[in-house]
Structure 1
Amino acid sequence: MLIELSQNLFNKLGIIVLAAFMLSKSDFFKHYLLKEKLALRDKLLFSLIFGLVGIIGTYWGVPVNDAIANSRSIGVVVAGLFGGPAIGIGAGLIAGIHRMVIPAGRFTAIACGISTILGGVIAGYFKRYVDAKPNKWLWGFIIAAWIETIQMLVILLISRPFEQALNLVQLIFLPMTFINALGTAAFILLIQQIYEENERAGAVKAQLALSIATNTLPILRNGLNKKSCKTAAKIICDATGVDAVAFTNTEIILAHIGVGDDHHKSGSAIRTSITQKAIDQKQYMIAQDKVSIECENPSCKLKAAIVVPLLMKDNIIGTLKLYKCLENSITSSDIELAKGLGHLFSTQLELSQIFYQKELLNKAELRALQAQIQPHFLFNALNTIVSFCRTDALKARELLMQLSYYLRTSFKTTGEFIPLAQEFKHIESYLSIEQARFSERLEVVLDVEADIECQVPPLILQPIVENALKHGLMATKKGGRLEIHAYKKEETVYVKIKDNGIGMSEEQIQAILKGNDLDSGIGIRNVNNRLKSIYGTSLVIESQPSFGTCITIIFPQGGQIDDQSHSGR
């Protein structure tokens, strides 16, 4: 009898596991299973589904001595371990009350009904414990076996006569405990497989998000505008396979690529209520049907969407939207992809703004530097030329030409790169005027290798040269010697500006680099900051009081800079 009962239960278990397998492959079941947070409606739905699985287990059972040997506990235990107390109790009530009221197996009806409800409660409260374990199916097996044991104890406590209850328990305990535990473990394995598939899909989506972010990085550096958004939306649409992609700011559609572009037009006001909600609440929104999207156009084919906000320092500046044409088609992996893209794009836009502000600051400092250099130099140069007009007209004419070239190159638009040779010609014009001014007090040595090809920012050497003259050499009565050497070594160009003036202490050097020395620090600090941001190099300053100063500037051969990082906005 025991062997025959076990065989019958095992055969029926195969049908239940097959039904569970088919259920696990259903997109409808996967959609609800993978939701981040279950609403009350979802909990009621899952309680009904697993309660029905318990009812099927009852009807699929084997009649034994006015009782039913069955696999009802599978649905109830899985409901509790999957959905927690609410769904476990809900499924237990549905399957348990059903067991109490059906005519078959009246001998154990009340006991089995009570134990079924109790099983849902126990499994529900064990959810958190089991979730933390690596082998959930094994713990499902153990908990299901324990619940079946409790059911047998309830039968012994409630069902009468006791002798009949004891005989029944002795007959059904082992087969029912094993079959229900095994079925529960199998069901949990199927659910785990769904989660693992989703995690793999999420990893693929994460990789896709990074790839998209890499491709859109140089585009979104130009900010959130119609042109950049259109290009970025096309990249996302091609890479993800969604039916439409859109960008908005807080008021209008900046770009819409794909289905619906006949009425979701660039420049028009935001058309969907879900987008406005994402902007107002600063959080992502999901619509799984056309009604939830609330597009004003009745012929719109878009039926599912996720909208993620784009933030800059916690201030919303727009949204990214992914659309599909099938209802209930936004999956958890789609949500993670959209959230990931939104976060990456927000970071890109914030970094572009930081870079833009840094560019503005550098340009402002450079203009301040020009304003500092030009007036006093111009006055001194003109005084020098006036004095030569009376004594040496040809020399005055030559100095005027040098001054003209110097001023023409000084007033050039900042931000452009020029050949290093042109920068040296600018320095030569400056030094020729200063030599005429200081006469025998200033000796200049200019040693530049002929084949150096290097692009540099304008006015990169002028502040160092002027600082060497003004604060190094001319601070002494006798003046001194200024040497400028330029040479290349492998892929690097070195420019050394050396004087034998008063020199500096280490404390003075640090004060200048940090900008604490307002008299002489602005020029050197500006040059140092520009070198760091453009080339990743810094000034090398070697100096000792009374022994002069040597400043080395390092450039890559050919001016190999990061074009993307320094493109104009």
Structure 2
Amino acid sequence: MLWYNVIINLCARLFFATILFSLLCRTSVIRNTINTLAKNNLSKLKFIAIFVAFSLVDAFFGAQLVTRCINNQLAFVMVSGLIGGPIVGTATGLISSILAFFLVPYAPFSYHYILVILIGLIAGFFATWLQKQHAIYADASILGLMFTFFYLVINISLNTTTMPNSYTVEDILFPTLFSYSIGAGAFMGILEDFYNQQEKIEGISAKTALKITNNSISILQDGLNTTSASETADIILQEAETFDFVAITSLDEILGFSSYRTEAPFVSFLVDDFQNLFKTSFKQDAKNLDVIRSYINVPIYNDKHHVGYFCVGHILDSETTPFETTLAHGLGTMITNQITVHSIKEKAGLYDKAEIKALQSQINPHFLFNALSTISFYCSQQPQTAKSLINDLASYYRNNLTDGNTMISILNELQHINAYIHLEQARFGDRLKVDYDINIEESFLVPALILQPIVENAIRHGLYQKLEGGRIIIRIDKQKNSFRIAVIDDGLGMTSDRLKHIFDNTKPKNSIGLTNVNQRLITLYGPKNKLKIYSSMNNGTIVIMKIPFQEVSENND
């Protein structure tokens, strides 16, 4: 019955190790370590240290027994590899073997350590696969059985003189296979339970966050201010039912606050706590605060700009739960999203006159319908022409998605115009002629989509209404301190009264694009570089802009 003593000895020590690991998984330090194991080197070091400690303690106590050459080191190394990957498994095996060799009395022979390190490496390669399995503990037990069998076969074949007195290979074989495989399954079962608990926490927190979002969405739709922040904080405190206080702040002051305690002394102390938090960008240890004992801080952003904090916590409990952490980050993200939506709506409100929409022509159903109709005609008549026009249409709309504030090279702007002109020429044939008169040798930067509305305006309002069509000349010259761009057409022209009020926003007009181009030029280059327009009835129109010298980077070519 010697095998019975061996299995009891091994399983007893594994039992205490699994209990300890289960308790450790309930601490925030180990939870964070496991969650960041794949991408954080410090977490890997912590995890290696834990299993090296398990191995050393087990090897030390195992060495004091009659079964001193048998311990659970291999099981711990296998588990570290199955959880942490090949680096963690190999490092755990190497470090624990070196320390055991020098520190543990009656240490096993050298073959044992070599095999332990090798199995730690091999087990690590199964880590990713194992995490995808549904029964992670069962698969881990099978892998543990395989690795142990491999270890024993190599171990026994290389050395047959290490069995203690009166012990046989059979006395060691079954207990080792059993305890190591069960141990690997037990550790992975604890880890699986850890992941399941996290999923439940995330599910409950998501449900709570969704309920809070539904109740606060109408409040935050007008942006973040003292009123909306206070009302949102009240809703979160009531619906979450877990925090002692909820605060929404700017970078240096409280915008909204809600707490179960509202007496004046408490509020005064809490305000002092937040002043300390503001000074340290919410990195202050709660132990150094007056009334806040624990807190969770989530930064709030508006279009990637840090604008404030969402802070929740306790005034009695010194720790926050995983549920509270997950919920707080979800709510912080919700507030950020709502602020971003409001910012987008606010920016959209600045474009009520449809200046940007007209500029980019992103929503021009008539142009798109006409272009598609033209392409449809050429599909049966001239397939190659149709293919070319499709490319032009794709290029045209792709360029129209460019941010109007982006600076691009004049060559890119001309390519965009050329795509637009090809589509119009396919429709109107010889009625539309375009000449390029480029008198420069170097490129320069222009605001994206600065020329397209001028050319489009010349075609739509200058040439379309002429039965015989007309010609457009795009001329670029270099002057003393700027580049001069002129768009010249021989179309119908404009009356003096219309020309006089072309940039008057109070007058209804069809050339919104010209107004927008003029405003952009003034904003970027000053009033001296505003758009100049010369026109008279039946004599065409000349539109001139000046672009001050700017250096072209390689990214804009």
TM-score by length of 2: 0.53
Partner of 1:20: 18
Contact 1:78–1:184 (CA under 8 A) maintained in structure 2: yes
Q: Distance in 1 between matches of 2:185 and 2:42?
A: 27
Once the two structures are TM-superposed, the CA of residue 341 in structure 1 deviates from its matched residue by 1.4
Match of 2:295, SS state, is strand
Partner of 2:331: 341
Q: 1:37 to 1:162 in 2, by over 3 A?
A: closer
Q: 1:185 to 1:326 in 2, by over 3 A?
A: farther
Once the two structures are TM-superposed, the CA of residue 301 in structure 1 deviates from its matched residue by 3.4
- CA displacement 1:145-184 (0-9 Å, x = unmatched): 232233224424653659999x954542232012101111
- CA displacement 1:111-170 (0-9 Å, x = unmatched): 2233223332222332122222222222321322232233224424653659999x9545
Partner of 2:89: 88
Q: Distance in 2 between matches of 1:149 and 1:99?
A: 22
Partner of 1:272: 278
Residue 323 (structure 1) aligned with residue 313 (structure 2):
yes
Once the two structures are TM-superposed, the CA of residue 102 in structure 1 deviates from its matched residue by 5.7
Give 1:37's aligned amino acid: T
- Structure 1: gaps (5+ residues): 277-286, 292-297, 366-517, 523-569
Partner of 1:243: 244
Matching of residues 103-502 of structure 1 within 5 Å: 105=106, 108-156=108-156, 158-159=158-159, 161=161, 168-240=168-240, 241-258=242-259, 261-265=267-271, 271-273=277-279, 275=281, 289-290=285-286, 298-325=288-315, 329-355=319-345
Partner of 2:79: 78
Q: Distance in 2 between matches of 1:86 and 1:330?
A: 32
Give 1:305's aligned amino acid: Y
Give 2:336's aligned amino acid: S
Q: Distance in 2 between matches of 1:202 and 1:347?
A: 19
Match of 2:246, SS state, is strand
Q: Distance in 1 between matches of 2:300 and 2:140?
A: 42
Once the two structures are TM-superposed, the CA of residue 330 in structure 1 deviates from its matched residue by 4.3
Q: 1:122 to 1:308 in 2, by over 3 A?
A: same
Contact 2:13–2:58 (CA under 8 A) maintained in structure 1: no
Partner of 1:68: 69
Once the two structures are TM-superposed, the CA of residue 220 in structure 1 deviates from its matched residue by 1.6
Q: 1:303 to 1:89 in 2, by over 3 A?
A: farther
Greater shift in the superposed pair: 217-226 or 35-44:
35-44
Give 2:254's aligned amino acid: I
Match of 1:346, SS state, is helix
Once the two structures are TM-superposed, the CA of residue 263 in structure 1 deviates from its matched residue by 4.3
Q: Distance in 1 between matches of 2:135 and 2:160?
A: 40
Once the two structures are TM-superposed, the CA of residue 215 in structure 1 deviates from its matched residue by 1.6
Q: Distance in 2 between matches of 1:274 and 1:67?
A: 54
Give 2:330's aligned amino acid: G
Match of 1:25, SS state, is helix
Task: Kindly tell me the number of residue pairs found equivalent between the two proteins.
Answer: 350
Q: Distance in 1 between matches of 2:190 and 2:163?
A: 40
Give 1:275's aligned amino acid: S
Match of 1:246, SS state, is strand
- CA displacement 1:491-510 (0-9 Å, x = unmatched): xxxxxxxxxxxxxxxxxxxx
Match of 2:256, SS state, is strand
Match of 1:317, SS state, is strand
Give 2:295's aligned amino acid: A
Match of 1:262, SS state, is helix
Give 1:341's aligned amino acid: L
Residue 33 (structure 1) aligned with residue 31 (structure 2):
yes
Match of 2:327, SS state, is helix
Q: Distance in 2 between matches of 1:159 and 1:326?
A: 61
Contact 1:51–1:90 (CA under 8 A) maintained in structure 2: no
Give 1:317's aligned amino acid: V
Give 2:223's aligned amino acid: G
Once the two structures are TM-superposed, the CA of residue 41 in structure 1 deviates from its matched residue by 4.6
- CA displacement 1:291-320 (0-9 Å, x = unmatched): 7xxxxxx54233443322333333333221
Q: Percent identity?
A: 24
Once the two structures are TM-superposed, the CA of residue 20 in structure 1 deviates from its matched residue by 1.4
Q: Distance in 1 between matches of 2:152 and 2:78?
A: 16
Once the two structures are TM-superposed, the CA of residue 37 in structure 1 deviates from its matched residue by 1.9
Q: Distance in 2 between matches of 1:232 and 1:202?
A: 21
Q: Distance in 1 between matches of 2:67 and 2:276?
A: 67
Q: 1:103 to 1:211 in 2, by over 3 A?
A: closer
Once the two structures are TM-superposed, the CA of residue 210 in structure 1 deviates from its matched residue by 0.7
Q: Distance in 1 between matches of 2:252 and 2:21?
A: 44
- CA displacement 1:512-559 (0-9 Å, x = unmatched): xxxxxx799x9xxxxxxxxxxxxxxxxxxxxxxxxxxxxxxxxxxxxx
Contact 1:85–1:124 (CA under 8 A) maintained in structure 2: yes
Contact 2:201–2:322 (CA under 8 A) maintained in structure 1: no
Contact 1:244–1:257 (CA under 8 A) maintained in structure 2: yes
TM-score by length of 1: 0.52
- CA displacement 1:473-503 (0-9 Å, x = unmatched): xxxxxxxxxxxxxxxxxxxxxxxxxxxxxxx
Q: 1:28 to 1:103 in 2, by over 3 A?
A: closer
If you compute each CA radius of gyration, which structure gives the higher value, 1 or 2?
1
Q: Distance in 1 between matches of 2:105 and 2:291?
A: 52
Give 1:351's aligned amino acid: V
Match of 2:291, SS state, is coil
Give 1:272's aligned amino acid: F
Once the two structures are TM-superposed, the CA of residue 103 in structure 1 deviates from its matched residue by 6.3
Q: Distance in 2 between matches of 1:121 and 1:261?
A: 56
Once the two structures are TM-superposed, the CA of residue 63 in structure 1 deviates from its matched residue by 8.5
Give 2:90's aligned amino acid: I
Give 2:155's aligned amino acid: I
Partner of 1:100: 101
Q: 1:222 to 1:71 in 2, by over 3 A?
A: same
Q: Distance in 2 between matches of 1:154 and 1:325?
A: 59
Greater shift in the superposed pair: 58-67 or 243-252:
58-67
Q: Distance in 1 between matches of 2:42 and 2:94?
A: 17
Q: 1:213 to 1:164 in 2, by over 3 A?
A: closer
Partner of 2:493: none
- Structure 2: gaps (5+ residues): 356-507, 513-557
Match of 2:204, SS state, is helix
Match of 1:54, SS state, is helix
Once the two structures are TM-superposed, the CA of residue 256 in structure 1 deviates from its matched residue by 3.3
Q: Distance in 2 between matches of 1:361 and 1:41?
A: 50
Q: 1:163 to 1:20 in 2, by over 3 A?
A: closer
Q: Distance in 2 between matches of 1:27 and 1:126?
A: 22
